[in-house]
Amino acid sequence: MHRSLRVALQVALENSTQRFPMGRVGKLNTTLSYGSRWKTQHNAFLWVALWGGN
Question: How far out from the chain centre does Cα 16 lie?
Answer: 6
On the question of pLDDT at 17 being above 70, the answer is no
On the question of pLDDT at 20 being above 60, the answer is no
Question: How far out from the chain centre does Cα 47 lie?
Answer: 12
pLDDT interval class at 39 (50, 70, 90): low
pLDDT interval class at 35 (50, 70, 90): low
As a whole number, the mean pLDDT across the chain is 66
Number of separate domains in the chain:
1
Structural domain span for residue 47: 2-52
